[in-house]
Amino acid sequence: MTYFEEPPGVEETFEPQWNRGGSYRKPYTLYRATFIHTPTFETGIVISPNCLVGVNSEGTIDFVREEASQPAGIDGIRLFKQEYTGPVQNLNHFKYVDYSKDCYKFIVPGFIDTHIHASQYPNIGIGLGCPLLDWLNNYTFKLEKRFSDPKEQMELAKLVYTKVINRTLKAGTTCASYFTTIDTKTSKLFADLLLKYGQRGFVGKVCMDHNEEYPEYQEPKDKSLEAMKDLIGYCDGLTNVKPIITPRFAPVCSSSLLKQLGQLAKDCKIPIQTHISENKDEIKLVEGLFPECDNYASVYKDHGLLGSSTILAHAIHLSEKECNVIKKENCSLSHCPTSNSFISSGEAPIHKYLYENKINVSLGTDLSGGYEQSILGVMKHSIMVSHHLAMKTEKSKDKLSIHDVFYMATRAGAIAVGLKDKLGSFEAGKQFDAQLIDLDAIGANTDVFDWQIPKNNEKDKWLDLISKWIFSGDDRNCVKVWVDGNLVVDKLRLGWVLV
Ligand SMILES: [Zn+2]
């Protein structure tokens, strides 16, 4: 057995990414650093300074040793050599990466964006205050339709999809549940690009057959179903890129399409994502289109679309009855506060959903209704919106905490995308999807003063630093990103540029 030891503090090198069907063997890697995560909603934020984490060649966390459980005076490499009990024949060499001496750096789980429209990326920041239904007709459908135009579709898709994947990856999003467009060819290209750049992702070819307001952008029901099946076949066998059944939202889908998509999800064991209760006019429209259903949530329930693998985005104006249905069906919500503010849809009562209804609530950027490509920005905005809600309701309990949003950005996201045993926290058996945060990164806004540094690992000071990161940090603080243990972003590497 040969050990390849790097002196503490030496950076990992950027590694080439895998392509379809290909793989390469990563060395076993030991990370020593401050690890911060929320293993469960109840635990709150757990901060583990000087923690030792072993990640095997599959990118799976092999062990986690908190400082308290490490014998005093033994360095990480010696401890590893003494205690490693894995398959020695596979352990050709290992890396040792140490960030524990740098008090500005810490490792957190990769963000999980549970609602994002890849195709709408060029429209970020455009259409301020335009209500949902007008915004769709004036901006969204026009752009999405271009992805079906044979004259420009492949070039356009390559340009936009490359940009959105890299932009979100560099902001720490290791996994995302995407909407593409109704076009299958470019949705397949999107799957290829996820593989190429190493982001874990769900590809949601949009299904819609009843677009009365903008009839140029829809497809016949049977074509929509066939296209979805085609995409499912295309993603078959891929580990990190999966299809997700995506009825856009009830107003643009026939009852028959909704029913058959529900059946398809069941038959193929594929998750589902859609929108719900984003805007009051939209809710009225749904009532008129589906008079036989009790409410908006029931429309999806009655068509077999609700279950533990369903992500419902926005959910701003849910009735108590709908909350009960969603909880009973074990669905997850995706809270999209930047979008809800940008197109003035409303303030979702997230604290109530979390603590009273006990619904799993994750976070979504909802590009481009949302202007913020980073989940860190969405965390900040979630708190601000909850403060505005609390000022209106005069109930301070409506305010979300740092813990709430950290949990929603990571663990709740893992539950929402059906990967709760695989992602969202640092535990043996989970995949190493993580980001290295540096509060002292070049060009960053996060100024930390000497007295604010947790030199003796005081938890209060750490929590203050996390708060500082959320409120004054941005993607510049996210200096490295790993997916499955693969280093997919490395801003510490000389010459690193955004693709
Ligand atoms: Zn959306």
Domains of the chain: 29-109+424-490 (2.30.40.10), 111-417 (3.20.20.140)
* pLDDT value, residue 25: 64
Residue ranges of the chain with per-residue pLDDT less than 70: 1-25, 71-74, 76, 81-93, 494, 498-499
What φ, ψ does residue 232 adopt, rounded to 5°? Answer: -60, -45
Span from the CA of 401 to the centroid of ligand 1 (angstroms): 25
- Residue 90 near residue 57, CB atoms below 8 Å: yes
Span from the CA of 113 to the centroid of ligand 1 (angstroms): 12
Q: What is the residue-wise DSSP string for 305-360?
A: --STTEEEEE--S--HHHHHHHHHTT-EEEE-HHHHHHTT-----HHHHHHTS--E
* pLDDT value, residue 91: 54
Span from the CA of 334 to the centroid of ligand 1 (angstroms): 10
* pLDDT value, residue 397: 87
Amino acid at 269: K
Question: Distance between CA atoms of 464 and 216, rounded to whole angstroms?
Answer: 51
CA angle 492, 161, 479 (to 5 degrees): 15
Span from the CA of 45 to the centroid of ligand 1 (angstroms): 29
- Residue 485 near residue 432, CB atoms below 8 Å: yes
Span from the CA of 178 to the centroid of ligand 1 (angstroms): 9
Structure-block tokens of residue 106: 């810490």
Q: Give the count of beta carbons closer than 10 Å to the beta carbon of residue 213.
A: 13
Span from the CA of 106 to the centroid of ligand 1 (angstroms): 32
Span from the CA of 117 to the centroid of ligand 1 (angstroms): 6
Span from the CA of 163 to the centroid of ligand 1 (angstroms): 19
Span from the CA of 419 to the centroid of ligand 1 (angstroms): 21
Span from the CA of 248 to the centroid of ligand 1 (angstroms): 8
* pLDDT value, residue 9: 41
Question: Distance between CA atoms of 116 and 124, rounded to whole angstroms?
Answer: 12
Question: Distance between CA atoms of 46 and 39, rounded to whole angstroms?
Answer: 8
Span from the CA of 162 to the centroid of ligand 1 (angstroms): 20
Span from the CA of 291 to the centroid of ligand 1 (angstroms): 24
Span from the CA of 364 to the centroid of ligand 1 (angstroms): 9
Span from the CA of 340 to the centroid of ligand 1 (angstroms): 10
Span from the CA of 3 to the centroid of ligand 1 (angstroms): 49
Residue 245: DSSP 8-state: B
